[in-house]
Each structure stands twice: as structure tokens, then as C-alpha cells.
Amino acid sequence: MNRKSEIRKMVKERLAALNKPLYEDKSYRIATKLFQDRSWLEAKTIGVTISNFPEVDTYQIIRKAWELGKRVVVPKCVPAQKQLIFRTLESFAHLESVFFGLYEPVEELTTPVDGETIDLLIVPGLAFGRSGFRIGFGGGYYDRFLAGYHGETISLAFREQMFEELPVEEHDLPVAKIITETEVIVADE
């Protein structure tokens, strides 16, 4: 098993140990920190995935964005090209269950958007290093998208997902900030 696979397995085990009240508390504290961040406050369009337990809850983040009049866009995976196409989301009723229990926008009910119009991209992952590098779920979708993206990037993570350093490959791109329940890590500091 390679190092990234070992880290993925370790983090999944750590997250599996989170009970629902602790998960809710940590997710709430992370969201509260996000809502105070300059990138969030200034963003008009937010790119975010639909969380799948035990990822940091993004439903409350999406609701808050709608409440503030922000445009929410969520990714639709195109497996043949390993690409992400972001689409507007105006209701959770416009989501469908796809593979691995993930939810994505229903094409007939949502509109595609140009990735360059996303002001803040909340980048998912399984493990995070303090330098901003992350280990995702293994598909490489976000690494491909980030290669052409020039807006703000933030990842949301529980402390159980944090590492001092991670193995980094040539195609890996860091996020600018990582918000945990206890701190905001600015990656280039």
C-alpha cells in the first residue's frame, strides 16, 4: 500500500470514530469560522460539494450562502474526462444520488457555470497538510480543476484530518487556507 493510501485509510478510521453530536459540533464551529473569513464575506459565487458524512457538513454552509443572496454552484462529475462541471444550485430538491452515495445537481434543473466565475471554491479532501496540500478521494477531479482555477480556495477539515506534512506529487496543488474547528491555517505562512 502506498503512503497516500495508508493516510486515506488512517483518516477514514479516525472519522469513523466521530459520533453524531461531536460531528455536528465540529462542523458548526468550522462553519462559524468560515462565515467570518474575508474570502467568504466578499464572495458572490461559492463553489462547494454536497458533503457526505463524515465530511464537514456543507448543507449549513449552502443554506447560509442562500440566506445571504450568494450564488451556490456545485460540481457534476464527468467520469469519462475526469472533469468537474459546476452547476447552479437553488434547492436541495435539485440534487440526485449518483455513485458512492454522493449527491450531484440534476442537469435538467440546474445551469452550468464557467469555473472562472467562482469567487470562492471550498475544496474537499480526506487529509490535509499545514502547507495547504491535500489528499483527496483518489479521482484527481479537483487537482485537474484547480490547475485552471484562479479564485480563492479554502478547505474545511476536522483536526482528525490534519497532518504536519503530506506526500506531494507534481500535479498536486495547495489550497490557500484550511479551516478546522480550532484554527484557520493560512497555507503560505
Let me know the angle formed at the C-alpha of 47 by 11 and 71, rounded to the nearest 5 degrees: 145
Q: Determine the 3-state secondary structure of 115 from DSSP.
A: helix
Range of 160's domain? 3-186
Q: In total, how many domains does the chain have?
A: 1
User: Do the beta carbons of residue 49 and residue 58 sit within 8 Å?
Assistant: yes
Query: In the structure, what pLDDT confidence band is assigned to residue 1 with cuts at 50, 70 and 90?
Result: low
Mean predicted lDDT score pLDDT of the chain? 92
CATH number of the domain to which 42 belongs: 3.40.50.10420
pLDDT tens profile 108-157: 999 999 999 999 999 999 999 999 999 887 777 888 899 999 999 999 99
Instruction: Take residue 166 and report the three cell numbers written for it.
Output: 503530506
